[in-house]
Chain A
Amino acid sequence: DVKVTQSSRYLVKRTGEKVFLECVQDMDHENMFWYRQDPGLGLRLIYFSYDVKMKEKGDIPEGYSVSREKKERFSLILESASTNQTSMYLCASSLQDTEAFFGQGTRLTVV
């Protein structure tokens, strides 16, 4: 079974903190993604990566950055957390031409 593991299920951070969300997949997938999920808005793509050290902006990259130093790991960084970044964050991975497999999600609260 494909496994996508996010480092935390729940996080509470203060406004202005730098926040790291980590994601690891064990199936040698080329593609990795970070989405945020908010009620009524579905899933919105923040960043994705199709190879090590490669990244592309999604639809809502502002306030976020990413890092992919190894194929299995894709990190999402909130440079200076703000309250409007309170959300559920979902990491996913895929091969070419297949569906995405999702991690269990990280519910981030910024206070």
Chain B
Amino acid sequence: ELKVEQNPLFLSMQEGKNYTIYCNYSTTSDRLYWYRQDPGKSLESLFVLLSNGAVKQEGRLMASLDTKARLSTLHITAAVHDLSATYFCAVDPYNFNKFYFGSGTKLNVKP
């Protein structure tokens, strides 16, 4: 059974601090996606990582992919309150556009 595990599931941090969210998955996948969900809203695509060693950055968020370790990280630099949301990773292990999601990491950035 394919598993996609995120940790931590909940993260409370102060503004200005750095932190990393981890996404582990149990089967080979060259593709990994990160999404953001605000309360009561739908999912918004953040990053698409399509190969081993891929790194993408947007503002205070940076995502990376290590396909050999089956691990992706989402690094937050100098967090601000606006980053408070739930973050999901998803893999497409069979390259069939069939996405498997982690449980999500609920991030709360305190002012």
Contact = CB atoms under 8 A, between A and B. Distances in A.
B88 to A, nearest CB: 7
Interface residues of B, number: 24
Contacts of A98: 48
Contacts of B98: 45, 48, 56, 58
Interface stretch (A13-21, A36-44, A66-74): A36-44
B45 A97 contact: no
B42 interface: yes
Contacts of A42: 4, 88, 101-104
Contacts, number: 55
Interface of A: 31, 33, 35, 40-45, 48, 50, 56, 58, 90, 92, 94, 96-105
A13 B101 CA distance: 28
Interface of B: 4, 9, 31, 33, 35, 41-45, 48, 50, 88, 90, 95-104
A44 B101 CA distance: 7
Contact of A31 (B35, B45, B88, B97): B97
The 6 closest A-B pairs by CB, nearest first: A43-B101, A42-B103, A102-B42, A102-B43, A99-B45, A42-B101
B97 A101 contact: no
A40 B42 contact: no
A13 B88 CA distance: 29
A104 B41 contact: yes
Given A33-B99, A40-B103, A90 B42 contact: yes
Nearest to B1: A59
A108 B35 CA distance: 23
Contacts of B44: 102
Contacts of B90: 43, 100
Contacts of A43: 43, 88, 90, 101
